[in-house]
Amino acid sequence: MGARHLVTLTLNVNGEMRRVTSDPDTPLVYVLRDEFKLKGTKLGCGLEQCGACAVLVEGAPVLSCVSPVSAFEGKSITTIEGIDANDTGSRVQAAFVTYSAAQCGYCTAGLVVAATALLDDNPSPNRVDIAQALTPHLCRCGSHPRVFRAVKAAAKS
Ligand code: FES
Ligand code: FES
């Protein structure tokens, strides 16, 4: 087995420039959780199939469990820990609380990220817009109806 090739990368995470020495092929989620201790972003399937690992990259939702950390240098990354710096993110979080839009919470960070990106892009989404934005996000606890109501409320408020 060959030696691991490590590089030092600088990432903009939640408005802070952070350096990490890592294999450039390591998926972003591992760097966020294990190196930066930002544990709010969850690792579910690891196959871009469940949505748990979503973060904002330049304001758009991106699944962080497959794409290599080196692809994110120079881009602005927002995790759930930094989402309330954005008015929309803070409104979405408040609506999730009001509507009890989480049960075990494993999917919640990804859903808040997706809803924030949606409302930043489209402040008055219709049902289809909301359903499309939430589709990549699985919730095994069945919280989707409450999530849907929370996103609708955040859009109105
Ligand atoms: S952990 Fe990334 S999509 Fe499931
Ligand atoms: S609240 Fe448990 S997976 Fe969604």
Any idea which fold 7-81 has?
A: Ubiquitin-like (UB roll) (3.10.20)
Q: Which of 133, 131, 108, 137 is nearest to 118 (CA)?
A: 133
CATH number of this structure's domain 83-156, picked from the four choices 3.30.2130.10, 1.10.150.120, 3.20.20.70, 2.40.170.20: 1.10.150.120
Angle between helices 108-121 and 87-98 (to 10 degrees): 130
Q: Please state, as a whole number, how many other Cβ atoms lie within 10 Å of the Cβ of residue 49.
A: 13
3-state secondary structure of 8: strand
What are the boundaries of each domain within the chain? Answer: 7-81, 83-156
User: How many Å is the Cα radius of gyration of the chain?
Assistant: 16
Considering the entire predicted model, what is its pTM?
Answer: 0.96
Instruction: Find the 44 Cα to ligand 2 centroid distance in Å.
Output: 11
Instruction: Find the 100 Cα to ligand 1 centroid distance in Å.
Output: 23
pLDDT above 90: residue 157? no
Report yes or no: 64 and 29 within 8 Å, Cβ to Cβ: yes
Q: What is the pLDDT of residues 75-97, one digit of tens each?
A: 999 999 999 999 999 999 999 99
Per cent of the chain over pLDDT 70 is 98
**Atom of ligand 2 at shortest distance to CA of 52?**
3
Q: Which residue has the tokens 């408040």?
A: 94
Ligand lying closest to the C-alpha of residue 139: 2
Report yes or no: 29 and 53 within 8 Å, Cβ to Cβ: yes
Confidence band (pLDDT; 50, 70, 90) for 121?
very high
Q: Which of 47, 57, 29, 39 is nearest to 113 (CA)?
A: 57
